[in-house]
Amino acid sequence: MMAKELPEQVAATIQLCSLTEDTLVEVDEDGSLVVMTRLGEFEFEADEISSVVLESLRRMALGPVSLSNVIPLHDQAGNGAVATDLAALQPVLDRLSGSVVHSLGLNDGQAPLLSVIPVGVAPPFTTHPVPAGRQVRLSRFTAMWPTNGGLMMESSLTSFGVLLSGTTAIRVASALAVSTSVSAVAADSGLAAQLVTDIVAYLTAAGVVLVSDAKARYAEDHDPDLTHWTPHELLFHRRSGTRLVGTSESAASQGEDGARSVTKPVPSGSTHWLYKPDLARVRVSEPSLTSLLETDHRCPAFSGQDIPAERIGELLYRGARVRSIGPAPLSIVANREASQRPYLSIAGLYELELYLSAYRCPGVPKGIYHYDPQGHALTLVNDEPEDLRTMLEMAMIAGAGRRVPSAVLSVTVRMERISWALGEAAYATALLHLGALQQTLYLAAKSMGLSAHPVPVDPRDRVDQILRLRSPAEVSVGECVIDLA
């Protein structure tokens, strides 16, 4: 939407368009156009496009531009056919909607007030004025955070994010935390009503702000499907499915030691080398995978019996050790070493770490240990009796037990090991790997006559403190209790 013919003391807004930074525009020798985006390649035959379309896309690739200004400048014939040229450009922009950024600015040569950025597969962006007298409000699924010198807004219910670059737009958006009207925002802020109207039109079109119905009700408040989601869970679901957003070449080439290290450096502390079983003999005597999967999966009552160090060593060897180290298997992690272990890990990065809280484990003194999967050894990281007791009691409560368990395995994730390659999908992928590791430990333990049952220990920040983690570089993500089956 563009305000026109406002009084001189009121700055008129202008529509600006640009392409996302990862979009590349190329013209082939035959005159056809190819636009490469994160969503794929779009081809346009020579007879589908004009020189005006090509010039508009070229300018958009350089940054926000007013198309109504580009077209007359490019119109060498001077016939002023702006409306016709815009009509020819619109179908092209609609096809590229997932890569077109729509900005709202003032005719002052400064940065835009705000920019609407497509997230994923986005439909064509169209604004509509908010009906007079209607209430407006931020969606409860809208999140905000500072970024790039502005404020980023994003709702998990829409395909657009909004970057608020100017203080004026930030003031308007902040005023919408409660249900209000455009006229009330203008009166309270001292901003021109038309300026507020234009800003709110962009925010509602992006889906981060809601417009009420005639009875001042908002549709999302009465949507039964949304009652099952919290805002942070739905946003996590939407944003954790792509590794492209937030990932850059510079981040991938930083070469930090933590990102390149196949395993976490062994901490200082007393070391206990663990037993290594003969897997050839194990395979002959144990039940089949099918029989293990077909038995009941219940969390047994904590027995309070000893779990010898030899059995702990066998479980960790069979479920979590490093079998080998070699080149990474996927192109996204080229030039990095990867490891092979008994459980699944995308790209072989293996960002998970294991810690053992040992209580009744003859052969391992009471304490909390880090497991080195390459050396197959335990290293003491915390020998405080109160911390050990707290960890065991949290696990007991989480597992609805009446005795503290004999041993607890905690799983953590080193984000630097995976985030450079998977971007915003890193944490979601780590949780996928957590499930794979827990299932592997569960089946290995069951075949040994043990139980490695996951328990939802809480609070996580207390676990991080007990494990002596450098949070948030490394954070705990799950536990399982080791006991007799």
Let me know the angle formed at the C-alpha of 304 by 298 and 305, rounded to the nearest 5 degrees. 100
Q: Which two tokens stand for residue 83?
A: 């409306």
Q: Which two tokens stand for residue 180?
A: 């209000």
DSSP string, 244-270: STT--HHHHTS--HHHH-SSPPPPSS-
- Residue written as token pair 């200082």: 268
DSSP string, 376-429: TEEEEEE--HHHHHHHHHHHHHHTT-SS--SEEEEEEEEHHHHHHHHGGGHHHH
> Is 121 within 8 Å of 159 (Cβ atoms)?
yes
Cα-Cα end-to-end distance for the chain: 67
Rounded distance, CA 232 to CA 239, Å? 10
Rg of the chain over CA atoms, in angstroms? 29
Task: Give CA 375 to chain center in angstroms.
Answer: 33
> In the CATH scheme, what is the homologous superfamily, with its name and number, of domain 251-484?
NADH Oxidase (3.40.109.10)
Neighbours of 122 (CB within 10 A): 19
Residues 6 or more apart from 46 whose CB is under 8 A from it? Answer: 30, 31, 32, 33
Phi, psi of 297 (to 5 degrees): -110, 80
pLDDT at residue number 5: 39
The kind and range of the H/E element at 482 are strand 474-484
> Is 411 within 8 Å of 445 (Cβ atoms)?
no
Task: Give CA 141 to chain center in angstroms.
Answer: 16
- Residue written as token pair 């009471």: 366
pLDDT at residue number 377: 97
- Residue written as token pair 């209430």: 135
Query: What does each of the 485 residues of the chain score in pLDDT, given as a tens digit?
Result: 333 433 444 468 999 999 998 899 888 877 788 888 887 888 888 777 787 888 888 889 999 998 877 765 555 444 555 556 677 788 888 988 989 999 999 988 788 999 999 987 888 999 998 987 899 999 999 999 998 779 999 998 998 999 999 899 999 999 999 999 999 999 999 999 999 999 999 999 999 999 999 899 999 999 999 999 999 898 888 777 665 443 333 344 444 445 667 889 999 989 999 999 988 887 777 888 888 888 877 777 788 899 999 999 999 999 999 999 988 776 667 677 889 999 999 888 899 999 999 999 999 999 999 999 999 999 999 999 999 999 999 999 988 888 899 999 999 999 988 888 888 888 999 999 999 999 999 999 999 989 999 999 988 899 999 999 999 999 999 999 999 87
- Sign, Cα dihedral of 166, 116, 61, 81: negative
Domain ranges of the chain: 251-484
What's the pTM value of the predicted model, to 2 decimals? 0.78
Rounded distance, CA 364 to CA 371, Å? 13
> Is 175 within 8 Å of 164 (Cβ atoms)?
no
Neighbours of 402 (CB within 10 A): 9
pLDDT at residue number 334: 66
What is the number of helices (H) and of strands (E) in the chain? 16, 20
pLDDT at residue number 175: 96
Q: What is the DSSP letter of 218?
A: -
Q: At what angle do helices 193-206 and 182-189 cross, to 10 degrees?
A: 130
